[in-house]
Structure 1
Amino acid sequence: MIETNNFKVIIAGGSIVGLTLANALERAGIDFVLLEKREIAPDLGASIGLLCHNSRVFEQLGVVELLNTATVPLLDRAHFTKDGYQFEDGGVLKSVSDKTRRPFRFMERRFYLQTLYDNLLDKSKVHAQVGVQSFVENKQGVTVFADNGDRYEGSILVGADGVYSTVRQLISQAVAASDPLRAKNLMSPFRASYRAIFATSQNSNFNSQRPFMPDGTVHVAYHHGISGVAATGVKGLVFWFLFVKENETTSTPDCPRFTKEDEEATIEQFGHLNLGSSYTFRDLWNSKVKTAMFPMEEGVVKGSWNNGGRVVLVGDSTSKATINPGIGGNTQVEGVCHLTNEITELLKRSPTLSTQDITDMFNKYEEKQRPRAELTVALSGFLTRYEAMETWWLRLLMPVISRIPVSWVSTLLSKHFADGPLFEFLPKPNT
C-alpha cells in the first residue's frame, strides 16, 4: 500500500473519466471525494464504445466482465452510399479483435457509468447534486466550495467536468487579468462545425419483427454534408447517430443548445436518407427509445492543463473529439491512466509533497497525454468530414481509401491500441 500521508484528491465531475479515476484511486489506496452537480449515471440517450485497449484497463479495475456480458461484440462493419448501396464490407473490426483478443463493444452510456459507480467499494465518497462553485489553494492543499454551501478539503483538485468545465472556467477567471490570451483559450477551447442526433432505437419496426441490422454489426452511411453510424452492441437495440454539417462554425461556450423541436426538424429534413441498404434514419426514429441532439465540439485546450498549482484538468475538459470513429472517450480514459500513474509514482517517492512537486507531476501527465489527445482529435475530425464527403477532394478519396487492405488498417489500429497506457500500480492483464 502506498504511504499517502493523508493525500486526498477532489474530483469534479461524475463522468466516465471522473468515475474511472475514482475507481483507480480506490485501488491505489488514495483517498478521494467526487462531486457531481447532477445525478450519477443520467439517462441522456447517449451511447459509447469500448475499445480493446480500454478493455485491458477495465480488466485491471474489475469491471470488464460485467460490461462484456451485457454487450455483443462488434465484428462486422459495412459502408453504404446515399442510395443504400453497400460499397464496402470491411473486416477491420474482426481483424483487430483477433489480434487483440478483445473486440469492440458498444453500450448505453448510462449503463457504463452505473457499472463504474457500482464497482466502487466506498460510495459515500461520491456526492451527487453537488457542484463546484469556487476553490482556493495554499501550500498545504486546496479547498473547494460547493454550490450547496459545503466545503471540501484536499491535496489536489481534478477537473473531470466535461466540455463546459466549471474548473476550467475558474482557472480562466483567475488568469484573466495577468494573461488574457490564456484566459480566452481556456474559456473558448473548442469549435463545433457539426451537430449530431444521439439515439437508441428498438432493432425493428414496432409493427414488424424484422431487425434493421444483425447483432454485432456497425453500419456507416455517406452523404454530402451528412453521415450516419449505427451499431447493434446490445441485443434488441440499435445505437445510432445522424451527423449534420452546420452552416457556420461556433465556439464554446456559445455553441447552440437544441430542443426536441430541433431534433424533429432535423429528422423531417434528413430522415428519408438511407443509413443501411433497407432502412432510413426515419425508420430508426420511428422505433426510437430515447434521443438527444448536441453540437459536436472538437479541439484541444491550448496551453497548460493545470493552473501552475494544485488544480489540473482531465478528460473532455482538456480535449474533445468528434464521434464518428468512437475513440474520443477511450482516449480520455488513457488520460486517467497517465494521471493516476504519475500521482502514485510521486507518492511512492514522498508522501509529503510541495506545490511545485505537484505541478511538475501534472506537467508529466500532460506531456504523455497531449500527443494522444491531439492525434485522436485530428483523426476523428478527418473521419467526420470524410464520411460526410464535405469537400470534392474527400469525395475523390473514397474509392482510394476503400481499397486499403484490411490487414494494413488493422495492424495500424492494433499498434495504436497496444501503445495505450495501463495502470502501472495494478497487475497487468493477460495479453
Structure 2
Amino acid sequence: MADGTGNFKVIIAGGSIVGLALANALDRAGIDFIVLEKREIAPHLGASISMLCHNSRVYEQLGLVDVINNATVPLVDRHHFNKDGYMFEDGGVLKGIGDKTKRYFRFMERRFYLETLYNNLRDKSKVHANVGVKSFIQRDDGVTVITDNGERFEGSILVGADGVHSTVRRIMAQNVAEMDPERAHNLISPFWANYRSIFGTSRNLNRRTQGLFMPNGMVHVAYHRGFSGVSATGVDGLVFWFLFVKEDAPSRTPDCPRYDDRDAERTIEKYGLFNLGPDYTFRDLWDSKVKAAMFPMEEGVVQGPWNNGGRVVLIGDSTMKSTVNPGLGGNTNIEGVCYFANELVQLLAQSPKPANDEIKEMFDKYEKKQRPHAELCVKVSGFQTRYEAMETWWTRLLIHIMRWLPNNLMSTLLAKHFASAPLLNFLPDPEV
C-alpha cells in the first residue's frame, strides 16, 4: 500500500459527493490525494439527497455516520396520493427496511452532506476550491493537470469526479475525436433528459394553513399524469421536495436546457395548484421555500470505457446519471467509490509504483464491477419516474397492482439487495 508520502498521488477533479467520498476513502487508506473543485465547496443550491442503508455502512467505516444521523431524522413512513389528494397507499416499506438492516433511510441538504464529507478529512489543505481543471498531460510515470488559473499539479492518476458536465470527460473526447469520432460522441453526449425537476427546500410550515406540511420522518409521493412530486421531512423544521415534469421534447447532453429562476416560476405557475400531499400544493411549498432551483434530469450510462487507456478515469456522475425519484443515483455512485478504492488499494499493495498497463487493468476491474450497478440504477430510476408520472396505461394499471404487494415482502427483497452492496475492504466491517 502507498504510505502517503507522495510515492503515489491521486488527483481528484471535482469536490462532489463522490469526489469527497473518494478523498475520505483514500485518506483512510493512506494514499495521497488532492481535490480540485472549480467552484466553492458545498454551495447552497436548494438541493437535497438521500442516504440509504448500504451507504450508511460505508460511512460507519469512514467514521462520519454519527454526524449525519444526529442531524437528521429517520424516514419511517411513505404515503402515496392521487391527483385529488386521496391517500391510496400507506406504505411501511421504509420502516421495514430500517428494522431489518438497523439503518434507516436519511434525507438531508446536499450542502450539509458535502460539508460533512469535507470536515471529516484530516488534512483539508488537500482540497482546493475555485480551481478547475483546464487540461492534462499524461506521461509513462504520471499525469500533470493544468488548472484554469495556470497552476500545475503532479499526480500518478487523474480521477474525473466532476459530474454530468465533466471537464475531464470532455478532454478525453477531444483527445480521441479524430481517430475515433464515435467514442468521442459517446463521451460528449452520453445522457438524455426527458424530465426536468424543481429541487426545493422549504420550512415545514404551510403559510396558507399555518400548520405543518407533514410530520418528521415522513415521505409523500403524488401521482399525476405527466408529472409527479415527492416530499420528505428528513431534518427537523425542513421539507425537501421535488416537482418532476415531463418535457415536451427530449434533449441530450451537452445541449440539455439550462433553467433559471424565471423558468422555475413559470413551472410553478402551471403546476403549483396541484397537490403533493393531502392538504398542501406545490405552490404552498414554493411560498415557504428557503431555496429552490430547476434542472433537467439527465439519465444514461457512458458507453465505452470509463478510462482513456492511460492514467485518467471517470467516476460518479461523470459515468452515469439517473432520475431522482427513488434516490438511487448518489447512493449507487458511492458503491463505485468502494469498488474503485478497493481495487486501487489492492494494486498498490502488490505494486507501489504501478506501470500504465497495471493501472489500466485496475481501472477496467473497477468499471467491470460498477457498470452493472450503474445500468440497473438508471433503468430502475427511469422506470419509477415514468411510473409516478403515469406515462402509459400499463403504468397506471400497475399502480393499482403494486398497492396490494405485502410490505414485508418488499422490505425483505430490498434489504437483501442493499446487503449485497460493497464496503471498503481495507477498513473494519461495520457492526451488524
TM class by shorter-chain length? Answer: over 0.9
1: distance between equivalents of 2:278 and 2:41? 38
> Is 1:352 matched up with 2:387?
no
**Partner-residue secondary structure (3-state), 1:303:** coil
2: distance between equivalents of 1:403 and 1:207? 35
The 5 A counterparts of 1:152-231 are 152-206=153-207, 209-231=210-232
**Deviation per residue, 1:17-41 (Å, 9 max, x gap):** 0000011101000000100000000
1: distance between equivalents of 2:213 and 2:302? 40
> Is 1:328 matched up with 2:342?
no
Residue 282 of structure 1, CA deviation: 0.7
**Deviation per residue, 1:160-199 (Å, 9 max, x gap):** 0000000000000111111110100000000000000000
Residue 347 of structure 1, CA deviation: 0.5
The 5 A counterparts of 1:281-300 are 281-300=282-301
Residue 206 of structure 1, CA deviation: 3.6
Q: Which residue pairs with 1:369 in the alignment?
A: 370
The answer to whether the Cα contact below 8 Å between 1:191 and 1:250 also exists between their aligned partners in 2 is yes
**Deviation per residue, 1:28-55 (Å, 9 max, x gap):** 0000010000000001110000000000
**Partner-residue secondary structure (3-state), 2:89:** strand
Residue 352 of structure 1, CA deviation: 1.7
The answer to whether the Cα contact below 8 Å between 1:107 and 1:234 also exists between their aligned partners in 2 is yes
The answer to whether the Cα contact below 8 Å between 2:321 and 2:329 also exists between their aligned partners in 1 is yes
1: distance between equivalents of 2:207 and 2:398? 39
Q: Which residue pairs with 2:381 in the alignment?
A: 380
Structure 2 gaps of 5+ residues are: none
Residue 401 of structure 1, CA deviation: 1.4
Q: Which residue pairs with 1:389 in the alignment?
A: 390
Letter in 2 for 1:382: F
**Deviation per residue, 1:291-346 (Å, 9 max, x gap):** 00000000000010000000000000000010000111000011000000000000
> Is 1:134 matched up with 2:123?
no
**Partner-residue secondary structure (3-state), 1:359:** helix
**Deviation per residue, 1:384-430 (Å, 9 max, x gap):** 00000011111111111121111221122111111111000001000
2: distance between equivalents of 1:348 and 1:418? 27
**Partner-residue secondary structure (3-state), 2:169:** helix
2: distance between equivalents of 1:132 and 1:57? 29
Aligned length: 431
1: distance between equivalents of 2:332 and 2:394? 29
The answer to whether the Cα contact below 8 Å between 1:3 and 1:347 also exists between their aligned partners in 2 is no
The 5 A counterparts of 1:392-411 are 392-411=393-412
1: distance between equivalents of 2:176 and 2:416? 40
2: distance between equivalents of 1:124 and 1:286? 40
Residue 207 of structure 1, CA deviation: 6.4
2: distance between equivalents of 1:206 and 1:66? 31
Letter in 2 for 1:175: V
Letter in 1 for 2:261: K
> Is 1:308 matched up with 2:309?
yes
Identity of aligned residues (%): 68
1: distance between equivalents of 2:97 and 2:396? 27
Q: Tell me the TM-score normalized by structure 1.
A: 0.99
Q: Which residue pairs with 1:50 in the alignment?
A: 51
Q: Which residue pairs with 1:260 in the alignment?
A: 261
The answer to whether the Cα contact below 8 Å between 2:7 and 2:353 also exists between their aligned partners in 1 is no
The answer to whether the Cα contact below 8 Å between 1:22 and 1:32 also exists between their aligned partners in 2 is yes
1: distance between equivalents of 2:377 and 2:411? 17
> Is 1:60 matched up with 2:61?
yes
The 5 A counterparts of 1:102-117 are 102-117=103-118
Residue 285 of structure 1, CA deviation: 0.8
2: distance between equivalents of 1:275 and 1:199? 13
1: distance between equivalents of 2:8 and 2:409? 46
Letter in 2 for 1:256: P
Q: Which residue pairs with 2:72 in the alignment?
A: 71
Letter in 1 for 2:428: P
Residue 117 of structure 1, CA deviation: 0.4
**Deviation per residue, 1:362-383 (Å, 9 max, x gap):** 0000000000110010000000
> Is 1:24 matched up with 2:28?
no
Letter in 2 for 1:338: Y
The answer to whether the Cα contact below 8 Å between 1:214 and 1:232 also exists between their aligned partners in 2 is yes
The answer to whether the Cα contact below 8 Å between 2:208 and 2:284 also exists between their aligned partners in 1 is no
Q: Which residue pairs with 1:148 in the alignment?
A: 149
Residue 205 of structure 1, CA deviation: 2.1
1: distance between equivalents of 2:173 and 2:256? 18
2: distance between equivalents of 1:346 and 1:292? 42
The answer to whether the Cα contact below 8 Å between 1:11 and 1:34 also exists between their aligned partners in 2 is yes
Q: Tell me the TM-score normalized by structure 2.
A: 0.99
2: distance between equivalents of 1:337 and 1:316? 15
**Partner-residue secondary structure (3-state), 2:305:** coil
The answer to whether the Cα contact below 8 Å between 2:79 and 2:89 also exists between their aligned partners in 1 is yes
2: distance between equivalents of 1:133 and 1:22? 21
Structure 1 gaps of 5+ residues are: none
2: distance between equivalents of 1:28 and 1:242? 40
2: distance between equivalents of 1:305 and 1:69? 37
**Partner-residue secondary structure (3-state), 2:258:** coil
**Deviation per residue, 1:64-97 (Å, 9 max, x gap):** 0000000000000000001100000000000000
Q: Which residue pairs with 1:343 in the alignment?
A: 344
**Deviation per residue, 1:270-307 (Å, 9 max, x gap):** 00101011111111111111000000000000010000
The answer to whether the Cα contact below 8 Å between 1:9 and 1:157 also exists between their aligned partners in 2 is yes
The 5 A counterparts of 1:6-21 are 6-21=7-22
